[in-house]
Amino acid sequence: MRRMYRALASAIIFESDRIDADGWREAESIFFQALGERPKRVRRQVRLFLLLLYVTPVFVYARPFTRLPLEKRRRFLERVQDSPVKLVRLGFWGLRTFVYMGHYGRKEVAAQIGYRVDLRGKAPDDE
């Protein structure tokens, strides 16, 4: 799953080429922790959707998702996000949300964009 996560995240996060090994580990940790907090049914659905994303490119490119060059992974995901099948689009956008959570939830990135989490739901400047 980690290889699939990195292949997916690198195709979704355009600045992923600037993520170092520690950044990848932190993003993966956030991603898998958030996924682990979901109900078992949701975790199964995400795993199934990841499996479908992994296998489907074989029919088009004769390679699984993780073995595609970056540009082909991006093109493939564009087709998935624009799928005429609503369930596929919803699955993609849900998965994409988890990927963004992993990336933007990293302390370094949150600091770069000025994101300061307050568990009370208030911005630090609102006090």
**DSSP three-state, residue 114:** coil
The DSSP line for 19-81 is --HHHHHHHHHHHHHHHHTS-HHHHHHHHHHHHHHHHTHHHHHSS-GGGS-HHHHHHHHHHHH
Nearest CA to 102 among 36, 7, 29?
Answer: 29
Please tell me the pTM assigned to this model: 0.81
Q: What is the mean pLDDT of each run of 10 residues along the chain (127 residues)?
A: 92 89 92 93 94 96 97 96 95 93 82 64 54
How do the domains of the chain map onto residue ranges?
A: 2-126
CA distance 5 to 17: 15
